[in-house]
Amino acid sequence: MNQQVKMPGVVLNYRDVGQGEPLLFVHGFPLDCTMWQAQIDFFSKTHRCLAVDLRGFGRSSVRPGTVTMEIMADDLASFLDAIRVQGPVTLCGLSMGGYVAWQFWKRYPFKLSRLIMCDTRAIADTEEGAQQRLQTADKVEREGAAFLADSMLPKLYCEASVKSRPELIESARNVILTNSTSGIAAAARGMAARPDVTSWLPKIKVPTLLITGEHDAISSVAEMKTIANALPDARHAVIPHAGHMAPQEQPQATNAAIQKFLGETAK
Ligand code: MLT
């Protein structure tokens, strides 16, 4: 069930299911918290699953302009305070959710017990990539998000998923088309402005699991392996027959990797 929490300047929508140690799920771009349904179904039997719509997405409020990864990380910290989650959480972020997670570590290390980084990157956009994002942001505001859905869906899901799971792709398309165009544009501008965090990696001491879909076309297995090698306490699970959206495309394998990690790093 969706719930809303009102904080200064922002209303965040979230799902809060199960009891126990909190797992905070942070979605990718340009999606919403519904992408984590298979993880919520599985882990809510043993954990408190909190899945948030980031500012500008799903049913959360929208701030037009530019919303940086730092602002989104601040929102998550305020959210945890507002719903009175005491003690550190395990943060599981996918792609843009991962960019937010790096910022969350930097700004709120005391609120973090573990990281699960799915299909994400540590480097910034190239100059050209950032320019393209800014153009995409303006175009989404002018024309709507249909062109973005058409161009992104084949990059988000691997070919086998596109062929065998049409309902999954359709539901992602609906999410993209339902999201606010100003919200999508603001996050795209925020991603274009995000810093390279590679130099932070050796300092991130919390146990970290990296998850990559074998066929991820956005954050490759090789790139995520480089991140894993730079982190002091990391494991890397490559999920077969999945693209960038491994948690949705192969939920059983993804959940098994997360469950193993949670077990190995239990205090
Ligand atoms: C995402 O899945 O969040 C996006 O692919 C991130 C990006 O475009 O860099």
- 28 is written with which tokens? 């990718």
Distance between CA atoms of 70 and 106, rounded to whole angstroms? Answer: 9
- 120 is written with which tokens? 């994400």
Compute, in angstroms, the gap from residue 267 CA to the centroid of ligand 1: 32
Distance between CA atoms of 90 and 118, rounded to whole angstroms? Answer: 13
What are the extents of the domains in the chain? 2-264
2-264 — its CATH code? Answer: 3.40.50.1820
Query: What is the predicted ipTM?
Result: 0.96
Distance between CA atoms of 104 and 117, rounded to whole angstroms? Answer: 12
Residue with tokens 């730092």: 70
Name residues of the chain where pLDDT drops below 70: none
Compute, in angstroms, the gap from residue 168 CA to the centroid of ligand 1: 18
Q: Is the pTM of this model over 0.95?
A: yes
Task: Give the pLDDT of residue 1.
Answer: 80
Distance between CA atoms of 124 and 231, rounded to whole angstroms? Answer: 17
Beta bridge partners of 91: 24, 115
Question: Which atom of ligand 1 has the smallest separation from the CA of 96?
Answer: 3
179 lines ligand 1 (CB under 6 A): no
Distance between CA atoms of 267 and 263, rounded to whole angstroms? Answer: 9
238 lines ligand 1 (CB under 6 A): no
191 lines ligand 1 (CB under 6 A): yes
CA distance from start to end of the chain = 30
Q: Smallest Cα–Cα separation from 111: which of 50, 59, 62?
A: 50
95 lines ligand 1 (CB under 6 A): yes
Q: What is the pLDDT of residues 104-143, one digit of tens each?
A: 999 999 999 999 999 999 999 999 999 999 999 999 999 9
Do residues 92 and 66 touch, judged by C-beta distance below 8 A?
Answer: no
- 51 is written with which tokens? 């899945």
